[in-house]
Chain A
Amino acid sequence: MLLAPLLLLLGSPPASAVDTLCLPGPDKACIAGTLRTDEGVLPDVTLTITDESGATQEVTTSETGKWNIQVDKEGPYVVKLDEKTLPDGLVVDTGEVTVQAKFGATLPALLTVRTEDYNASTSKWDEFLQSSVNGLRLGLLLALASVGLSLIYGTTGLSNFAHAEQVTLGGMLGYWLIGKHGMGIWIGGLLVVLLSALTGYAQDRGLWQPLRRRGLGLTQMMIVTIGLSLAMQYTYQLLVGARTVRVEQENPSVTEIGPVTITNQSLVAMAISIVVLAVVGFALLRTRIGRATRAVSDNPALASASGIDTDKVIRLVWTVAMGLAGLSGLLYALVTNGIKWDSGMQILLLLFAAVTLGGLGTAFGALIGALIIGLVVELSPVFGMPGDFKYATALLILILLLLVRPQGLLGKPQRVG
């Protein structure tokens, strides 16, 4: 936070008013903000700051529109915009704001200014459509990963906390193959999915199957996945660092369909997700191995007694699930412009919410759950939820649902305990 103005200070040429740094201390507080319109920042605007006793101070915005001031008393301060110093053709929405200064903290003061012809309120309906499309996109990406998570849960009973790191792995592999080593996006993408699937195969062979043979309890296995997730996260941080990396360097081109703006990449990603999900669904319903998977998911002991090789089915489920997670991560990195070491961890909770919402262990439930969670996350700001809380809304819905329908939407009612 504090470094940002400093970097600007280093980068920008000398100007009328340069960015200065305000450091709050034990008996100092800072009030700061950036003055901008919908078209750009506003330099050289004067603001007056009045304290309780009526003493005023003046501050002028810098070249980047930033301003800050240090005060040495706690309490309410009135920040007022001097409208005479504004360029012409601007309308002041909020010209005066009161801030409670506190020692040791930088307080933001939001003043809003817009150009005359700017229409701040795009129609609610357009906003709704745009958010729905974004929600659908997020939902489809979540669905790719959560179908696998749900299948693993169904066949082995394990809640895999490391699933999210497999999603990150897909993005990271994409960055490494496509972004760093310049591989073509289609071939590179295919390779990412194959490599991810391979990690699933290797994991089941090297880790999970031996643990099942040892008879390790599910609780203990769940903690093993937590350890794995921790180790994987920090491995990414060690190898790539804490920065966001991008799979593709160019900015994607954009298509406008009516009021909805969407990147072409997103459209392709959505199409791929739908096709892949349809193939998985078809395989589960119509093929022999798919039926075997559902049988194991239903009742492993019975499936095993009827001659199904459960170990083989579980191995396949791990392979496919990790391949899907890798694909999801790659697409996520493409549509959200990059991936970070903890990106997966951020969506893990959404994945769990989706899987639980749909009914633990049901593949189609996970699909529906993921779409609902995706829509809820993107639409909640439209319905007045503050942007900070959009993930929290999805999790809140999960907790509320457990109160009324703990088995999830498609789960079988089964009272335990």
Chain B
Amino acid sequence: MDTIQSILNAMMREALSPGTAAVAIAVIGLNIHFGFTGLLNIGQSAFMLLGAYGMGIAVWHGLPFVVGILLGFGAAFVFALILGVPTLKLRGDYLAIVTISAAEIIRYVGRSSLLTDFTGSAQGIPGSQYRDPFTNLSFFGGGSFTLLPFNYLDVADGAAWVRIIGWLLALASIAALVYLLRSGDRFSGVARNGLVVLLVFWSLFLLLFLFPVANQRTGVNGWWVRFIAWTLVLLCCFITYLLVRSPWGRLLRGIREDEDAIRSLGKNVFAIKMQALIIGGLFGALGGMVYVLPASVQPDSMGRSLTFFCYTALLLGGAATIFGPVLGSVLFFAGRIFIQTASQAYVPNSILTDQKTAQFSYIVVGIALMLLVIFRPQGILGNKRELRFDV
């Protein structure tokens, strides 16, 4: 029981971490590229890295925090233009090859010792050099705080039956939530939306009741950065919602389904693709900035693997949906921690030593990505008809 509780606690900590929120934001951007427009961008990590560098370098060199953020967005904007101009008129795989190559170029340049004064080369920029303006904004105060001070230990001393009933309830309410989100056409209106919001809060309450998370109020990795990160995630979801239900959003889907049809309607397909690439890239840059706030700007931590994780999260949650990226990222990171900690706890060391469980979890991630695409391309929330496209 205690092992299970500790595994679930670890999953909860990872699910709420600012890193997960940051990747969720980047995945929302990737969703605009891949899910809605059908652009195969395999360089989302470069957008993240550019955002992080823009902010990190500017603040490190004494510029105001706001200027840093703008610089990060500016870098991602220019990068999207450079990638888009040669490739958006060509077949989809050219964009794939060029984005992954360009992402590598950015990483090589970041690692280069010639630019040590700006990028800190392979060692990167330590978080202490740019984090302060952000932490100083905090109005959360000092000390630490447990989210939901009232938790399972307060009911019958956290007996096994309390927890098991709680886990079942949490599972049931999450399943109900997923069902509600998937059945968009059948129920609609205020009642459904109200029910969704209610269920979200109820599930969150249950989860936090069962797996209390303690953290510093401000600190390096405390509630302040988490609060901002998850607020940004919600904000990005809302922006995406507004974007994709606009006439412009319908054009995106049109381009995904049949580019020539949209062109024959007299629309400038190239310009719309470019706009989608830029907007998704800006989300990526924002994700990168959030990603490095509790950590450091390390070029190698934002390489190809991160892009691949973004794809796994996107396809897991459901491409071309609003909440798919968020659900996917949370499940992805929590699931990876589950595989790692569960194999640490239950697989004997003679078969898999503890140091190797991380690698094992990444192998499972790779295989999961393959199986997802083959057997359930729509992920959890998506609609299968929307993912038949071919670039």
A residues sitting closer than 8 Å to B (CB atoms) are 1, 26, 100, 102-108, 159, 211, 214, 216-224, 226-235, 237-238, 345, 349, 352-353, 356, 360, 386, 388-389, 391-392, 395-396, 398-399, 402-403, 406, 415-417
Contacts and interface: CB of A to CB of B under 8 A. Distances in A.
B365 A230 contact: yes
A223 B311 contact: yes
A401 to B, nearest CB: 9
Interface of B is mostly: helix
Given A230-B305, A349-B104, A391-B108, A402 B90 contact: yes
Dominant SS among interface residues on chain A: helix
Which of B38, B93, B117 has its CB near the most chain A CB atoms (within 10 A)? B93
A217 B269 contact: no
Nearest to A107: B116
B105 A395 contact: yes
A395 B104 contact: yes
B367 A391 contact: no
Contact of A392 (B85, B109, B116, B374): B109
Interface string B377-390: 10000000001111
Contacts of B362: 230-231, 233-234
B89 A417 contact: yes
Contact of A398 (B98, B315, B391): B98
Interface stretch (B121-129, B146-154, B210-218, B231-239): B121-129
A386 B374 CA distance: 43
A349 B369 contact: no
Interface of B: 38, 40, 42, 82, 85-94, 96-98, 100-102, 104-105, 108-109, 111-114, 116-117, 120, 123, 126, 128-129, 259, 269, 304-305, 308, 311-312, 315, 356, 359-360, 362-363, 365-370, 372-374, 377, 387-391
A220 B373 contact: yes
B363 A235 contact: yes
B359 A230 contact: no
A28 B360 CA distance: 38
A396 B112 CA distance: 16
Nearest to B124: A105
Contacts of A226: 42, 308, 311, 369
A230 B123 contact: no
B123 A106 contact: yes
A399 B370 contact: no
A224 B370 contact: yes
Contact of A238 (B92, B315, B356, B389): B356
B86 A399 contact: yes
Nearest to B370: A227
Contact of B366 (A103, A232, A360): A232
A352 B88 CA distance: 18
B376 to A, nearest CB: 11
Given A238-B356, A388-B111, A391-B104, A227 B368 contact: yes
Given A234-B366, A238-B359, A216 B109 contact: no
A353 B105 CA distance: 13
A366 to B, nearest CB: 13
B365 A217 contact: no
Contacts of B259: 417
B126 A104 contact: yes
A189 B363 CA distance: 28
A117 B216 CA distance: 63
B161 to A, nearest CB: 39
